A and B are shown apart, each in its own frame.
Chain A
């Protein structure tokens, strides 16, 4: 990328030198290069005050001065975080290697030797000012992106069910509902939602767009607008997923896709009917007849299916399982099973039932918290992918 030459006319330079002739001749040199905003100080102490008052973009600093010398002034500047990046150009008549190194040790950015050579002086001043401008541009850019990402992150969280809504829905249908959501890089490609379908049925959707970051997040917003377009009330989950698939195929470029699970819990018939498009295998738990004794029966559900947005011809299949009172469904995105730890490998799909069983032993009613505690204890942070985990249990 070509960088347009910096106009020096906007730059402010502070000259600190106890010798009036030196101050004047340096000012003359840099004024010829276009710098007109120049302030002066006669020693280090005055120099420090001038930095705070004048806010220079660069300091031309003599070494040998009364009251406070240049090295001391530069060290004082560097102790102050505000002036950590301020370019300081020493001008020195000391030409021993040791003394020049001392300029850098004090925090100097560069030095010019006296007697001043006008061409070299302007070139070094320009170089330092350009470096400062690039640094500031980059810092400003970074700050702006961080700010925007955090706004976008809040927007993305607002797409997900709030905890008050979870409580409301849980009470309406006699459920325990817990959810965890964390994105890997400020923004993520995970999405989940619950959709009341009358008094006895509840739709549950979990979607994970490939990749993470801004592209994946934009896709979750796309998805959110699509969901309302397809009523869930009178179609089978497989049909609903097929509709969503076609709509996503229209908008997603090749290579972008989503895995999905869409299920309908029917509290009247005690069933879960679902269709899936390549989401990680959910865990279904059903209470063992006779109660007491051992824990529930746990099984991994087959969630294979062509991922959404890959082909218009994709078809999905419905599967129905019993989900009576006391039973539960655990949904999660692939981060749970794919993120490795510092010493341990990733959890892996097959270990999930035991992972759930261990958590149930710690908290029979709300095992999501112990599951997440254990996941975070074993996993290397920050996460490499977005993590969503949803626990839905029918109260006994």
Chain B
């Protein structure tokens, strides 16, 4: 998985590409640092270019969500599609993380 960060006046956004899975656990700290350094109250994870997410990847989203919550930042998942959308819907992550179409 790779990601790119952009920061606007309204939101901090990371755009994920590739596959978010077990082997990406080391990258989690890097993204968590983006949340920690965010100067806005919105943290958007754009998944338009994400092809696959496994259970460990879902776990990483939960960790980021908690990281954001403790800083009063609203975390939003955006542009879910294909297998990624399917996995996130199956696990009903929408019940604990905000999802935008």
Contact = CB atoms under 8 A, between A and B. Distances in A.
Interface in B81-101: 86, 89-93, 95-96
B95 A306 contact: yes
Given A210-B56, A211-B56, A334-B55, A310 B90 contact: no
A278 B86 contact: no
Nearest to B97: A310
Size band of the interface chain A makes with B: 20 to 34
Interface in A302-324: 303-307, 310-311, 313-314
Interface string B59-100: 110110010000000000000000000100111110110000
A255 interface: yes
A210 B59 contact: yes
A255 B63 CA distance: 5
A127 B16 CA distance: 46
Given A278-B91, A307-B91, A254 B58 contact: no
A306 B91 contact: yes
A304 B22 contact: no
A270 interface: no
Contacts of A278: 90-92
A385 B54 contact: yes
A256 B60 CA distance: 9
Given A212-B22, A303-B90, A349-B86, A256 B95 contact: no
A254 B66 CA distance: 8
Nearest to B65: A254
A281 B34 CA distance: 35
Contact of A254 (B56, B62, B93, B95): B62
A311 B96 CA distance: 7
A338 interface: yes
Could you say which interface size class chain B belongs to? 10 to 19
Interface in A231-255: 254-255
Contacts of A338: 54
A62 interface: no
Contact of A211 (B22, B89, B96): B22
Contacts of B56: 210-211
A210 B55 contact: yes
A349 B60 CA distance: 23
Which of B22, B55, B66, B90 has the most CB atoms of chain A within a 10 A radius of its CB? B55
Central interface residue in B60, B90, B91, by most chain A CB within 10 Å: B90
A306 B89 contact: no
A210 B55 CA distance: 5
Interface string A329-341: 0000010001000
A208 interface: yes
A342 B53 CA distance: 20
Interface string A199-233: 00000000010111000000000000000000000
Contacts of A311: 95-96
B92 A305 contact: yes
29 contacts: A208-B55, A211-B22, A211-B56, A211-B59, A254-B63, A255-B60, A255-B62, A255-B63, A257-B55, A257-B58, A257-B59, A257-B62, A259-B55, A259-B91, A278-B90, A280-B90, A281-B90, A304-B92, A305-B92, A306-B92, A306-B93, A306-B95, A307-B93, A310-B93, A313-B95, A314-B95, A334-B55, A349-B86, A384-B22
Report the 9 A-B pairs with minimum CB-CB distance, sorted nearest first. A278-B91, A210-B55, A255-B63, A255-B59, A306-B92, A211-B56, A210-B59, A254-B66, A307-B91
Interface of B: 22, 54-56, 58-60, 62-63, 66, 86, 89-93, 95-96
Given A210-B55, A384-B22, 19 more contacts: A210-B59, A212-B22, A254-B62, A254-B66, A257-B62, A278-B92, A304-B90, A304-B92, A306-B92, A306-B93, A307-B58, A307-B91, A307-B92, A310-B96, A311-B96, A313-B95, A338-B54, A385-B22, A385-B54
